[in-house]
Amino acid sequence: MSSLRPRLARFVLILVAPLVLAACGYNVIPTQQVKAQQAWAEVQNQYQRRSDLIPNLVNTVKGYAAQEKSVLVEVTEARASATQVKVDASTLTDPAKFQQYQAAQDRLTGVLGRLMMISERYPDLKSNENFLALQSQLEGTENRITVARKDYIDAVQRYNTTLRTIPSRWVAAWFYPDAKVRETFTISEQAQQVPQVKF
């Protein structure tokens, strides 16, 4: 009988331990971390797609609007700047690096808007099939970027909340001491300005 108790205790421990770990959120943190990483990968994927479209768009506009050289140079420089910002796992937990990445992407978004406005001055460009196809792809990509950023923000919000609330905060401290709160996108001050309409 006395040898049966230790065996029974081990058996109960083997059955109860997974339930206790599941109940305390042991797997929640790595699951949410992976979801946040996947969402971030999609953000980068869409930014890369946009970056890949830009040279074709610039070349198409260049043929019609040679006098708009300064805008074309700005777009090319902004693209180069955005692709030169190195992004790794530490970027997501470092506010300064994340802000640098976001600023480079925001700058590119701004100059792309100026490039698209050029088409209003050149009717031939507006009717060019290549330009229209590229413009449509770029608009679709901007929409995808918006969705990917929103999905990332949502995933990071869930992950960060998990890391900051009890009992998952304790689980993170005990089992995942390297888990850090991640940075998320913010709206630049320029984007928060109310547009002024002048007639």
Please determine, for residue 85, whether its predicted confidence score (pLDDT) is greater than 90. no
CA 68 to chain centre: 31
Rounded distance between C-alpha atoms, residue 117 and residue 55, angstroms: 17
DSSP category for residue 183: P
Dump pLDDT digits (tens) for 42-70: 999 999 999 999 898 888 888 777 767 78
The pLDDT of residue 58: 86
The pLDDT of residue 2: 60
pTM of the model: 0.76
Burial 2-15 (b: 16+ CB within 10 A, else e): eeeeeeeeeeeeee
The pLDDT of residue 1: 56
CA distance readout (Å), 67 to 72, 77, 116, 119, 138: 10, 17, 15, 13, 23
Classified by CATH at the fold level, domain 47-192 comes out as de novo design (two linked rop proteins) (1.20.1440)
In the chain, what are the domain boundaries? Answer: 47-192
The pLDDT of residue 198: 46
Tell me which residue of 135, 150, 134, 77 sits closest to 107, measured CA to CA: 77
The pLDDT of residue 159: 95
In the block, which residue shows the tokens 């979801």? 35
